[in-house]
Amino acid sequence: MKMPLFVRAARAANVERVNASAFARRCERGSLDAQDVACILAFQVRASRGFVPFLEALAERSPAGPVRSALLENLFEERNAAPCPHSEWAAKTHLAILDALGISESERREAAHSVAPFADAYLARLDELLSPKLTPIEAAAAFALAVEDAVPSLYKALIAGLSCMPGVRSGDLAFFEAHVTCDVDHALRILVACFASSKDATLGEPTSLRWRSTLDCASNILRTRVESLDAILAAPRTTSGALTRIQGQEAVQ
């Protein structure tokens, strides 16, 4: 199924937002240092910790039909992916990269502590998808655009940043490379299901799927994720590498 023009425009805008970020530019220039990577991966770990339970809640909220089936299919792949479940694969990937860069256990703990407010701000945005303000179909569509469809651009940038770092092997990047491909498939699967479930949908302007609110919600979620990564990289650090806690500074909302 060919996506409507306004959905294709939203997807293109998401790519542009990621590519224009300070995070992506730093990665493309190869100017990340080991502490940057420790903080980026710590953000990723905390932000992803509730991903499977969130996907379960989103599927449970959706009525039986194409949307729930698409979400459950994604959930199955998260739990049963080769060579191991995605959460386990991600953990092994992060461990290999941090070891290769010589990040100590204390530095890892400091990074995790420092990025927690930023990751929690992102998760709070994500929780908005479970609010009654959005129908299950709208929530699923916003999730597809803001999360699944954004991962390829984010991971392409991260791969560029990691691939030029001494000690990081090409095999260490396999997890990110796999998601560049599979998460596009996940996003399109859900979006197609949303259109199939929206009885009044046309290739022009669906009426039962309130696309304006859906696109706004998706945009806010991705904006918070990108701006959080930018803020993490811009924040001053202590001599040990942890982000300095600035009095009165709040995470991106």
CATH number at residue 117: 1.20.910.10
Q: What is the mean pLDDT of the chain?
A: 87
Residue by residue, what is the 3-state secondary structure of 215-248?
Answer: HHHHHHHHHHHHHHHHHHHHCCECCCCCECCCCC
Residue 202's domain comprises 26-234
Distance (Å, rounded) from C-alpha 45 to C-alpha 88?
11
pLDDT of 244 reads: 54
**Position 77 in a domain:** yes
**Position 12 in a domain:** no
**Cβ count within 10 A of residue 200:** 9
For the chain, the domain total comes to 1
**Position 250 in a domain:** no
**Position 180 in a domain:** yes
Distance (Å, rounded) from C-alpha 58 to C-alpha 175?
24
**Position 224 in a domain:** yes
pLDDT of 196 reads: 79
**Position 14 in a domain:** no
* Amino acid sitting at position 105: E
pLDDT tens, residue by residue, 118-140: 999 999 999 999 988 888 988 99
pLDDT of 212 reads: 82
pTM (2 d.p.)? 0.88
Please name the residues in contact with 214: beta carbons below 8 A apart, sequence gap of 6 or more: 134, 138, 141, 142, 145
CB 217 within 8 A of CB 134: yes
pLDDT of 133 reads: 85
pLDDT of 210 reads: 74
**Position 212 in a domain:** yes
Q: Which segments in the chain show pLDDT lower than 50?
A: 200-204, 208, 245-249
**Position 5 in a domain:** no
